[in-house]
């Protein structure tokens, strides 16, 4: 194919990218490249190429993403590249999601029942606490904190150590260094106990999914079909994940060699005996999960372990403007350990990065909200809310931002923060469902055996648990026996056994309904009714919001069901695995019957283990696993159907797969419905699969009837992948479900920097760029600091067109009781902040020490971000053209006119008025409100910036245009372009500048030398509770005149008063609850996610979105290749 024009699905790649995407599929490939260089695009294209060009069956290709969200996006892109059918057959998901599917399907191979439950972080924590309790909190006489145990155990699991391996290693280490090991040896005791508890409850925690996954993939045959594995974000994998990757990769060796149909044009070369179908992409600069035991060194490890690994670099950034890229690089380059890399963009330099200091966190939030509005208007709608993201160091920082956005009537969504599944009412209901599915799951039993109150108190529960353990049964089973009276159990009080009746019956009802194929929503409904949950909610308070959540859960259940029907997700993979195995004529279950020991050392290719390629030697077992299937795969691939026409190709194989599938043997539950359902629809193979997942009605009996399945799986029936199981799994595995929550309309995205990894947005605000925040105050080790720096780098590189780094001079930390803490600019940014040059700028003192910032000081000038703290970049037609270029978005006809009009309209709003109004410098300077802290738009910023020559080296595209100074917007604002008032600020009592002799960074943890007058908890108390809702609404500017608020009108209006009360009301949590008083029409747009959370305490203004989600066009999603 050399020389030929690339096929259309590869047309969107640069030459370098194309080369990477089409690199030989049989040698290990590493794509190491910076942000925005198209790594993900290449990986996606490569998957497509393997299927379309190299004719791999989609089900033989494993694609691992970092988050569920990323998996969804990749799925969407692949839809377009290779079609929905093939896409759905790929094995695509996070390591966790992928392994949970393998475990459900093949878990029996490692004696794991397939109805196991996945513990969420909370259950896991509780279980570890319980384990710790068995030692009275002090195993081996060492008092341990639960947190400590959780961390150490997770750490061990991330290193692929079970309790035994952990203890063994520790004892080895103990020989050399006894003291530090003692504590962890105590943890090992807890680990043993925890492990045992997990087994009893038939549960796996998150780490187990990987750990057990390793064990499973080592079983012969499980990955005997895999021809290629692709992993995204490899820099953030942990050791266990590395092993998983290796096991997949090792399997590909023999599978590839055994598949002549996949031979490259010239046949295998000697190099190909190293054949490994492995492609990973990553960027060490973006490794931000070491705290979760990720090992960047996995990149090197792979390079060393898989000989012949080909390394490809991509140096062109397709995402960001020159200004953004430059500033970002200046941040990350401060890392002296870092390996320098080339990265350039051919995009215009664009608008300079804005570094904005704010008096307070709320001022910061207000700045962002008003700036979002302004940009939408001033770009004439070229940008909409979806183009904006606000990135935070931690979730709690979202509060102020959300509040301000609400005040401006800007809809927003919080990524990842979805606490929905953490709410008690949800957990309760899910616990009932879980008990029906997995009666051994003690955490669920404990949670709801007395919910609603059944007079089964703590003591009784403990007695029941003890009794169950004594009898060697699950508590739920014990309860069932007690109720059914089949066994008389001594020592159970009659009151308790009577009380258990309703509980047991409720679970039984769910179980039987589920067996009859009832929808999950119906099951939830059944629980609610049979236990009287609604009444219970009324009793415990906050009924309305909780009840809404319940309804939302029911809604969500239907949604999951739908998405499963549409083949979008879930056990799909299992189907594909099944099919692949069928195709390979490989039936592990049959082999199991024969019982192991007869693994063929001969792979059918004349290679022995010793001669096996390097990768296969990574893990001996893995090598063998691969060989087991080698012969079968060879047979398969040898069939003469490798036609050019890939439609034919697939369908032919498909037919063969069906032909060869043993009729009933493998997993009855799996095969049967398909056979039955397909004719019904008379439809394609895929409809059959769809049915397979959902049509679980009255299959239960059939599925376990007869053969071998029953004995392998002890306590509970080896049922079909039921809707219930799928649903529960989705609930625990997806903290990420908010994807679905695209209700109507564009929304600003709020996310943590971590959660934003891999995403991109037109405009990004990084908030709280302060010492203590970035780096986070708990990061102390150099390695931790470096990770914090990279985190900021990741955040900055999410931006395409405009980047704002904002920080606040003071901010309330934690609980509240205290006064605001003084904060200073992050050391990561200080070296870039240029001060003095721009309008008597307000900046950190020139001599500010930026610890840990090595290296690039000399470059600081060239890389400087104008420290024009009060500037909002002016937007003109030229900038809009740049935006359109970078965003790859056409400028509509008549855009300029639209722009002028929208600008004009905007300038008439109170939001604009508020922007023009001088902003307060700090809380402490409230008394000086209006005394001349300037604000306004700078139309010169970009000119000066460009004039600095700091970006001369970038792009040279000529795309960047000088602003026409004083463009249409400027007139109204020139009067406000006053920057001279930093001295005012200092004089007002802000300690940083004035009292510390300019050493901002030296005072970060010290008390302010000047206590702001009049601002005290007393004032806060006065402002909030003593006011009526109406007063507060008025004070907050929300208006009380019938509640109809004109867009942009109400919220900002009365701010002039700006006394403490109104200032505070805008800042106190009390405000949000009053928003509920507003009629819906005027209610602020909800921050939405799916399912909608109704937090009883803070449900202010949130309205339940009952509409169907719209699946497409998620903000933050990368642009799809054409």
Contact map string, positions 778 to 797, toward ligand ATP, x by CB under 6 A = -------------------x
CB of 75 to ligand ATP, least distance (A): 15
Q: How many CB atoms within 10 Å of residue 178? A: 10
In angstroms, how far is CA 1054 from the centroid of its own chain?
Answer: 39
CB of 499 to ligand ATP, least distance (A): 54
- 25 makes contact with ligand ATP (CB under 6 A): no
342 is in an annotated binding site: no
Contacts of 7 (CB under 8 A, 6+ apart): 52, 53
- 35 makes contact with ligand ATP (CB under 6 A): yes
67 binds, among DNA, ligand ATP, none (CB under 5 to 8 A by kind): DNA
**356: helix, coil or strand?**
strand
Q: Which pair of structure tokens corresponds to residue 752?
A: 């943590």
- 36 makes contact with ligand ATP (CB under 6 A): yes
Q: Which residues pair with 776 in a beta bridge?
A: 772, 773
Which of 6, 7, 14, 592 forms a contact with ligand ATP (CB under 6 A)? Answer: 14
Residues 268-287 that bind ligand ATP (CB under 6 A): 283, 286
Angle (CA) 367-370-375 rounded to 5° is: 115
- 387 makes contact with ligand ATP (CB under 6 A): no
User: How many Cα atoms occupy the beta-carbon half-sphere of 105 within 13 Å?
Assistant: 28
Whole-angstrom distance, CA of residue 769 vs CA of residue 872: 18
Residue nearest to ligand ATP (CB): 38
Largest Cα span, the chain: 90
Compute the CA torsion angle 399, 401, 406, 412 (nearest 10 deg): -100
Strands (E), 832-895: 833-834, 865-866, 871-873
CB of 1086 to DNA, least distance (A): 17
Q: Which pair of structure tokens corresponds to residue 614?
A: 């390097």
Whole-angstrom distance, CA of residue 646 vs CA of residue 143: 63
38 binds, among ligand ATP, DNA, none (CB under 5 to 8 A by kind): ligand ATP
CB of 539 to DNA, least distance (A): 6
User: Which CB, 125 or 916, lies closer to DNA?
Assistant: 125
39 is in an annotated binding site: yes
CB of 345 to ligand ATP, least distance (A): 10
39 binds, among ligand ATP, DNA, none (CB under 5 to 8 A by kind): ligand ATP
Closest by alpha carbon to 42, among 53, 31, 52, 34?
Answer: 31
Which DSSP string do the residues of 279-337 spell out, in sequence order?
A: EEEE-GGG---GGGTB-TTHHHHHHHHSTT-EEEEE-EESSS-HHHHHHHHHHHTT-TT
CB of 341 to DNA, least distance (A): 24
1010 binds, among ligand ATP, DNA, none (CB under 5 to 8 A by kind): none
CB of 158 to ligand ATP, least distance (A): 23
Contact map string, positions 719 to 758, toward ligand ATP, x by CB under 6 A = ---------------------------------------x
Q: Which pair of structure tokens corresponds to residue 172?
A: 């080895």
Whole-angstrom distance, CA of residue 295 vs CA of residue 287: 8
- 318 makes contact with ligand ATP (CB under 6 A): yes
Whole-angstrom distance, CA of residue 648 vs CA of residue 655: 10
User: Which CB, 330 or 923, lies closer to ligand ATP?
Assistant: 330
Which of 28, 38, 139, 668 forms a contact with ligand ATP (CB under 6 A)? Answer: 38
CB of 1064 to DNA, least distance (A): 13
CB of 1098 to DNA, least distance (A): 6
Which of 22, 27, 30, 37 forms a contact with ligand ATP (CB under 6 A)? Answer: 37
37 is in an annotated binding site: yes
- 13 makes contact with ligand ATP (CB under 6 A): yes
The answer to whether 203 touches 443, Cβ cutoff 8 Å, is yes
40 is in an annotated binding site: yes
How many residues bind ligand ATP, per CB under 6 A?
21
Contact map string, positions 812 to 831, toward ligand ATP, x by CB under 6 A = --------------------
Q: How many CB atoms within 10 Å of residue 173? A: 14
- 39 makes contact with ligand ATP (CB under 6 A): yes
CB of 281 to ligand ATP, least distance (A): 7
36 binds, among DNA, ligand ATP, none (CB under 5 to 8 A by kind): ligand ATP
- Rounded to 5 degrees, φ, ψ at 895 are -65, -40
- 1118 makes contact with ligand ATP (CB under 6 A): yes
The answer to whether 391 touches 767, Cβ cutoff 8 Å, is yes
Angle (CA) 850-401-913 rounded to 5° is: 100
38 is in an annotated binding site: yes
The answer to whether 799 touches 763, Cβ cutoff 8 Å, is yes
Query: Do the strands 91-94 and 61-65 form a parallel or antiparallel pair, or are they unpaired?
Result: parallel
- 76 makes contact with ligand ATP (CB under 6 A): no
**377: helix, coil or strand?**
helix
Whole-angstrom distance, CA of residue 197 vs CA of residue 124: 10
147 binds, among DNA, ligand ATP, none (CB under 5 to 8 A by kind): DNA
- 525 makes contact with ligand ATP (CB under 6 A): no
Closest by alpha carbon to 902, among 883, 877, 870?
Answer: 877
CB of 87 to ligand ATP, least distance (A): 17
Q: How many CB atoms within 10 Å of residue 493? A: 12
The answer to whether 593 touches 708, Cβ cutoff 8 Å, is yes
The answer to whether 333 touches 64, Cβ cutoff 8 Å, is no
Helix residue ranges per DSSP H, 485-532: 494-515, 520-531
35 is in an annotated binding site: yes
778 binds, among ligand ATP, DNA, none (CB under 5 to 8 A by kind): DNA
CB of 866 to ligand ATP, least distance (A): 25
CB of 1073 to DNA, least distance (A): 9
The answer to whether 788 touches 776, Cβ cutoff 8 Å, is yes
User: Which CB, 80 or 200, lies closer to ligand ATP?
Assistant: 80
Stretch binding ligand ATP (CB under 6 A), from 7-15, 181-189, 652-660, 683-691: 7-15
Positions that interact with DNA (CB under 7 A): 66-69, 94-97, 121, 125-126, 147, 206-207, 291-292, 393-396, 416, 422, 424, 450, 453-460, 496, 539, 733, 735-736, 752, 754-755, 776, 778-779, 814-816, 1069, 1095, 1097-1098
Q: Which residues pair with 389 in a beta bridge?
A: 749, 764
Whole-angstrom distance, CA of residue 196 vs CA of residue 202: 10
957 is in an annotated binding site: no
Q: Which pair of structure tokens corresponds to residue 686?
A: 């895929």
User: Which CB, 451 or 755, lies closer to ligand ATP?
Assistant: 755
**30: helix, coil or strand?**
strand
User: Which CB, 147 or 600, lies closer to DNA?
Assistant: 147
The answer to whether 993 touches 985, Cβ cutoff 8 Å, is yes
User: Which CB, 120 or 582, lies closer to DNA?
Assistant: 120
User: Which CB, 796 or 1075, lies closer to ligand ATP?
Assistant: 796
CB of 304 to ligand ATP, least distance (A): 23
68 binds, among DNA, ligand ATP, none (CB under 5 to 8 A by kind): DNA
17 binds, among ligand ATP, DNA, none (CB under 5 to 8 A by kind): ligand ATP
- b/e per residue 748-760 (b: at least 16 CB within 10 A): bbbbbbbbbbbbb
36 is in an annotated binding site: yes
List residues forming the annotated binding site for ATP.
33-40
List residues forming the annotated binding site.
33-40
Residue numbers of the site for ligand ATP (CB under 6 A)?
12-14, 17, 33, 35-41, 283, 286, 318-319, 758, 760, 797, 1118-1119
């Amino acid at each position: 194919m050399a020389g030929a024009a690339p096929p259309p699905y590869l047309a969107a790649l640069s030459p370098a990218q194309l080369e990477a995407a089409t690199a030989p599929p049989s040698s290990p490939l590493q794509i190491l490249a910076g942000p925005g260089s198209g790594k993900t695009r290449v990986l996606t294209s490569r998957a497509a190429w393997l299927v379309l060009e190299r004719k791999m069956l989609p089900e033989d290709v494993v694609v691992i993403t970092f988050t569920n969200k990323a998996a969804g996006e990749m799925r969407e892109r692949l839809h377009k590249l290779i079609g929905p059918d093939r896409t759905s057959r790929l094995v695509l998901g996070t390591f966790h999601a992928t392994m949970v599917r393998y475990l459900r399907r093949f878990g029996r191979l490692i004696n794991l029942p397939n109805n196991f439950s996945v513990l969420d972080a909370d259950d896991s924590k509780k279980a570890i606490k319980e384990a710790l309790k068995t030692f009275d909190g002090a195993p081996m006489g060492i008092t341990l904190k639960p947190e400590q145990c959780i961390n150490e155990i997770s750490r061990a699991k991330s290193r692929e150590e079970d309790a035994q391996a952990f203890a063994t290693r520790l004892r080895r280490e103990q020989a050399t260094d006894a003291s530090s090991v003692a504590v962890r040896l105590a943890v090992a005791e807890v680990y043993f106990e925890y492990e045992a508890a997990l087994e009893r409850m038939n549960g796996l925690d998150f780490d187990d999914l990987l750990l057990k996954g390793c064990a499973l993939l080592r079983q012969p045959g499980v990955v005997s079909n895999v021809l290629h594995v692709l992993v995204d974000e490899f820099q953030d994998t942990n050791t266990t994940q590395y092993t998983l990757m290796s096991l997949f990769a090792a399997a590909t060796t023999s599978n590839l060699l055994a598949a002549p149909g996949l031979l490259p044009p010239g046949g295998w070369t000697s190099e190909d005996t190293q054949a490994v179908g492995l492609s990973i992409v990553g960027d060490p600069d973006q490794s931000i999960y070491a705290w979760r035991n990720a090992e960047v060194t996995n990149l090197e490890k792979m390079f060393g372990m898989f000989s012949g690994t080909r390394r490809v670099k991509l140096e062109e950034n397709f995402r960001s403007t020159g200004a953004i890229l430059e500033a970002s690089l200046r941040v990350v380059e401060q890392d002296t350990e870092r390996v320098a890399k080339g990265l350039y963009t051919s995009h215009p330099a664009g608008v300079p990065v804005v570094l904005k200091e704010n008096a307070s966190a709320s001022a910061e939030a207000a700045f962002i909200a008003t700036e979002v509005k302004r940009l939408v208007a001033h770009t004439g709608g070229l940008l909409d809310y979806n183009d904006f993201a606000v990135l935070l160091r931690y979730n709690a920082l979202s509060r102020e931002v959300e509040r301000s956005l609400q005040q401006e009537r800007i809809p927003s969504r919080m990524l990842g923060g979805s606490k929905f599944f953490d709410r008690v009412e949800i957990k309760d209901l899910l616990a009932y469902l879980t008990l029906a599915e997995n009666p051994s799951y003690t955490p669920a039993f404990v949670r709801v055996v007395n919910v609603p109150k059944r007079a089964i108190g703590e003591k009784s529960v403990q007695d029941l648990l003890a009794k169950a353990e004594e009898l060697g049964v699950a508590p739920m089973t014990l309860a069932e026996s007690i109720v059914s009276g089949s066994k008389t159990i001594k020592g159970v009080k009659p009151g308790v056994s009577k009380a258990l009746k309703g509980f047991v019956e409720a679970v039984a009802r769910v179980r039987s309904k589920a067996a009859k194929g009832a929808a999950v929503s119906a099951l939830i409904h059944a629980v609610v009714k049979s236990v009287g949950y609604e009444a219970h909610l009324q009793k415990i308070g906050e009924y309305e919001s909780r009840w809404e959540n319940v309804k939302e859960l029911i809604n969500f259940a239907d949604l999951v069901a739908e998405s499963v029907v549409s083949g979008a997700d879930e056990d799909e993979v299992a189907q594909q695995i099944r099919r692949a195995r069928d195709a390979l004529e490989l039936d592990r279950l049959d082999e199991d019957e024969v019982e192991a020991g007869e693994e063929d050392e001969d792979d059918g290719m004349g290679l022995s283990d010793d001669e096996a390629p390097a990768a296969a030697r990574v893990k001996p077992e893995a090598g063998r696993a691969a060989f087991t299937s080698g012969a079968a795969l060879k047979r398969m691939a040898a069939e003469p159907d490798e036609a050019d026409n890939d439609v034919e190709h697939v369908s032919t194989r498909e037919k063969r797969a069906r032909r060869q599938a043993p009729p009933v043997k493998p997993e009855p539950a799996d095969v049967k419905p398909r056979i039955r359902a397909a004719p019904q629809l008379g439809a394609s193979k895929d409809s059959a699969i769809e049915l397979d997942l959902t049509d679980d009605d009255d299959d239960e009996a059939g599925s376990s009837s007869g053969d071998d399945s029953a004995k392998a799986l002890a306590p509970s029936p080896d049922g079909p992948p039921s809707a219930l199981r799928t649903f529960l799994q989705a609930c625990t595995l997806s903290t990420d479900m908010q994807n679905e929550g695209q209700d109507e309309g564009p929304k600003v995205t709020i996310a943590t920097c971590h959660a934003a990894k891999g995403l991109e947005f037109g405009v990004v605000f990084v908030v709280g760029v302060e010492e203590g925040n970035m780096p986070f105050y708990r990061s102390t080790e150099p390695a931790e600091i470096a990770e914090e720096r990279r985190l900021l780098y990741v955040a900055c590189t999410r931006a395409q067109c405009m980047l704002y780094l904002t920080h606040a001079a003071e901010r309330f930390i934690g609980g509240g009781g205290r006064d605001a803490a003084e904060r200073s600019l992050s050391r990561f940014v200080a070296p870039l902040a240029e001060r003095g040059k721009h309008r008597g700028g307000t900046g950190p003192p020139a001599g500010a020490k930026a610890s840990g910032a090595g290296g690039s000081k000399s470059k600081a000038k060239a890389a400087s971000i104008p420290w024009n703290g009060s500037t909002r970049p002016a937007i003109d037609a030229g900038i809009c053209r740049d935006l359109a270029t970078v965003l790859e978005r056409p400028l509509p006809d008549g855009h300029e006119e639209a722009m002028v009009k929208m600008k004009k309209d905007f300038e008439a709003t109170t939001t604009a008025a508020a922007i023009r109004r001088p902003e307060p410098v700090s809380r402490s300077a409230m008394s000086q409100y209006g005394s001349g802290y300037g604000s306004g738009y700078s139309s010169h910023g970009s000119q000066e910036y460009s004039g600095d020559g700091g970006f001369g080296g970038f792009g040279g595209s000529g795309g960047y245009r000088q602003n026409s100074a004083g463009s249409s917007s400027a007139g109204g604002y020139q009067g406000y372009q006053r920057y001279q008032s930093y001295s005012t600020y200092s004089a007002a009592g802000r300690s940083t500048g004035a009292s510390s002799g300019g050493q901002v960074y030296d005072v970060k943890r010290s008390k302010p030398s000047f206590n702001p007058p009049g601002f005290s908890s007393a004032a806060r108390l006065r402002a909030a509770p003593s006011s009526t809702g109406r007063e507060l609404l008025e004070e907050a500017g929300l208006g009380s005149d019938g509640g109809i608020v004109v867009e942009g009108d109400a919220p900002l209006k009365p701010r002039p008063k700006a006394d403490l009360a109104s200032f505070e009301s805008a800042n106190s949590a009390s405000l949000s609850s009053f928003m509920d008083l507003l009629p819906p029409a005027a209610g602020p747009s909800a921050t939405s996610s799916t399912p909608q959370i109704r937090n009883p305490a803070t449900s202010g203004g949130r309205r339940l979105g009952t509409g169907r989600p719209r699946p497409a066009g998620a903000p933050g999603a990368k642009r799809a290749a054409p």
